[in-house]
Amino acid sequence: MDRFMLHAMLQDMLLARSFEERAAREYTEGNIAGFLHLYPGEEAVAVGVLHAAESSDYVVSTYREHVHALVRGIPARSIMAELFGRRDGCCRGMGGSMHLFDRERRFMGGYAIVGETFPVAVGLAYATAMRSQPEAVICFFGDGAVNQGTFHESLNMAALWNLPVLFVCENNHYQIGTEIHRHSAVSDVFKRACGYRIPAEKINGMDVLRVYEATQSALQRIREGAGPQFLEMETYRFRGHSMADAGNYRPQVEVEAYRRMDPLSIVEKAEQPLYPSAENIASAGPDTINGFSEHLRAEQLINADEIEQMKQQVEQTVEDAVDFARRSPEPGMEEALAALDCNRGQEVLI
Amino acid sequence: MAQEMFYYQALNRALDEEMAADDSVFILGEDVGLYGGSYRVTEGLYARYGEWRVRDTPISEGSFTGLGVGAALIDMRPVVEIMTVNFALLALDAIINMAAKIPFMSGGQFPMPLVVRMPGGVARQLAAQHSQRLEHTLMNVPGLRIAVPATVQDAWWQLKQAIRSEEPIIMLEHELLYFSKGELDETADAIPMHRAVVRRPGEDITIIGYSRMALLAEEAAALLAESGISAEVIDLRSLRPIDWATCIASVQKTHHCLVVEEDCVFAGAGAEVAAKLAEACFYELDAPVQRHGALDIPTPYNRSLEIASIPTAESIAEAARRLVAEPPAAGDEK
């Protein structure tokens, strides 16, 4: 992987973290309301997956989708403005945090009813397959969604008709406050896909490079005509389910353990001595993550100055996004009605 | 120019013509392909257009309707057939939470050229789980349109309009109408999809119905004529939106209004029609607007109880007679 790509991924991860933490702050200050589901801890998944995808591939996401949207290339400004409910939001303030859409960037929506992303993705894939187009559809969902009927119905159809869907489970181990062993008879999510003869694999979702590679090869198989593929990304959200949730149901030791695997901390570790101590290695968490930092260091792909520069850029982008959102006007009811009637054409109703 | 055919054949012709004209139109549903559709609506299309455009699905209403939503996002024109309205309860998330909301939530970025066809209504002894009317559920959803064709002509034309539209449209087709005969004239005036039509002009009372009940209202009007009552019959054709202008003009003329529906009267489609007309025509009315619909019970399997649970031509005529003769007693629901 080249230096440019690595830097871009790192930049997106930093932007994701900074954007989300800022959104939390704006929420507590009353500028964002409703439900706000944040992504810190899971950045490696969105970044790894979407950097491995083509920009022509379709993306379908859930209510925890700000980062998918950001990495897809929707400007931070228009996402933040949408969170603020303003006219310059990517959905004109009609969708909000859980419903980001961008037709041009093929970001096919954030869906807030758990399990809806499956049939939407299958429908997009059906249409592309029917027209013999090369695009794949990336379908994000959480571990909680796999107990919905649509999961089983849609995987069945995707496999039956050999549709180009990459199912990406963001397994953060919790459906709101219920831990996976209390909501699923089989806690290895990927095994469920085997029931529909969909090739599936469990990936360390805290390791962006591993996520990237797995996605790349899964997408390659899809484009070669192998049909749907399934990746279970083991990850973790550092925050509660939403801003309304402190996440107190989780053992502190678990939160700490995952914090040690913070996909962003690898950046710092890359700046550690070239020959780390045993403690350094131990504290870096699983080997895959350590492997990434070693890779970065060994290849001398990044240095402290560059990271600092990146962080400053990201802060600036987020600051600018908030500023933009604040200045954007409130939409009027006529704009709401125009959105509702976007498909009415010239027809005059009674 | 007119040609006699069955209602199902008119739908079949509409599908065939639209599929031939536009290759983004495709059909999906249970047994729509090889089998030809449980009411023969898709007969012959599988052979003509192949399995990708006439797709037999697993029994997964929620997901194949959602599949239609997903495909419509990228400009396909899916026509989803749900085997009966009753099964559509499993697809309400796709219809209400997705199809009706996406154009709006996306700030107008995504139209939703989706058609969902559903046979429904009380047929013959199909019992409580296969005889429901759900129009009231769908009417309350901004972002949807509902067409309720009663005639062969409307079946053909409204389905064609629905397929060409960019909006999500529900077609409610009455199961007892599929094998009814009527005339199709492809050169007839292209009535807008939401326009109500006066099926029979009259002076003394306006009877408003839709789907099969519009036809029964016409039969009732013939019975009423024998007893000297001139009834005007309006077929709504569309339940969302509703063509109020046509209804109001009629009520202003007859000063009496009876709304007929096959759905349960309580919180049904008729409640909306009656409320609106009471608001709009209060000073024109000689008696309160009355509703005449199904009893407030699940549909019984027993044939005579089933018949007794919904309006008939005779019961509609009787309700109209009472309304014209004297203000009706409170609580008349059948």
Between CA A76 and CA A104 the distance in angstroms is 16
Task: Render each residue's pLDDT in chain B as its tens digit; 334 residues.
Answer: 799 999 999 999 999 999 999 999 999 999 999 999 999 999 999 999 999 999 999 999 999 999 999 999 999 999 999 999 999 999 999 999 999 999 999 999 999 999 999 999 999 999 999 999 999 999 999 999 999 999 999 999 999 999 999 999 999 999 999 999 999 999 998 899 999 999 999 999 999 999 999 999 999 999 999 999 999 999 999 999 999 999 999 999 999 999 999 999 999 999 999 999 999 999 999 999 999 999 999 999 999 999 999 999 999 999 999 999 975 555 555 4
> How far does Cα A254 stand from its chain's mean position?
22
Q: What ipTM does this complex have?
A: 0.94
Q: What's the pLDDT score for residue A294?
A: 52
Whether B303 contacts chain A with CB within 8 A: no
B162 and B247 assigned to the same domain: no
B252 domain residue, yes or no: yes
CATH number for the domain harbouring residue B69: 3.40.50.970
B160 and B202 assigned to the same domain: no
Q: How confident is the model at residue A300 (pLDDT cuts 50, 70, 90)?
A: confident
- H/E stretch holding B157: helix B152-164
B 134-153 residues inside an 8 A Cβ radius of A: 142-143
Chain segment B60-106, per-residue pLDDT in tens = 999 999 999 999 999 999 999 999 999 999 999 999 999 999 999 99
B108 and B35 assigned to the same domain: yes
Of residues A288 and A212, more confidence is placed in: A212
The total of other beta-carbon atoms located within 10 Å of residue A242's CB is: 18
Chain segment B146-160, per-residue pLDDT in tens = 999 999 999 999 999
Return the CATH superfamily for domain A3-262+314-335: Thiamin diphosphate (ThDP)-binding fold, Pyr/PP domains (3.40.50.970)
B272 and B201 assigned to the same domain: yes
Residue whose pair of structure tokens reads 């009471």 in the numeric block = B278
**Cα–Cα–Cα angle for A228, A230, A232, nearest 5°?**
170
Whether A185 contacts chain B with CB within 8 A: no
Q: For B165, how many CA atoms within 13 A lie in the half-sphere containing its CB?
A: 28
B66 and B180 assigned to the same domain: yes
Distance of residue A248 Cα from the nearest chain B Cα, in angstroms = 31
End-of-domain residue from the set B184, B219, B250: B184
Q: Which residues of B are catalytic?
A: 61, 130
For residue B216, what are the domain limits? Answer: 197-325
- Residue B52: which of A113, A130, A347 has the nearest Cβ? A130
Percentage of chain B with pLDDT > 90?
96
Nearest to A150 by CA among A183, A175, A186, A114: A114
B 51-80 residues inside an 8 A Cβ radius of A: 52-53, 55, 57-58, 60, 62-74, 76, 78
Look up residue B310 and give its amino acid: I
End-of-domain residue from the set B151, B184, B217: B184
B192 domain residue, yes or no: no
In terms of Cβ atoms closer than 10 Å to its own Cβ (0-12, 13-18, 19+), residue B325 is: exposed
Q: What's the pLDDT score for residue A284?
A: 43
| Count of domains for chain B | 2
B26 and B103 assigned to the same domain: yes
B130 and B41 assigned to the same domain: yes
Look up residue B291 and give its amino acid: R
B239 and B173 assigned to the same domain: no
Domain definitions of chain A by residue range: 3-262+314-335
Chain segment B77-88, per-residue pLDDT in tens = 999 999 999 999
Q: What's the pLDDT score for residue A258?
A: 84
CATH number for the domain harbouring residue B269: 3.40.50.920
Q: What's the pLDDT score for residue B329?
A: 57
**pTM of the shown model:** 0.93
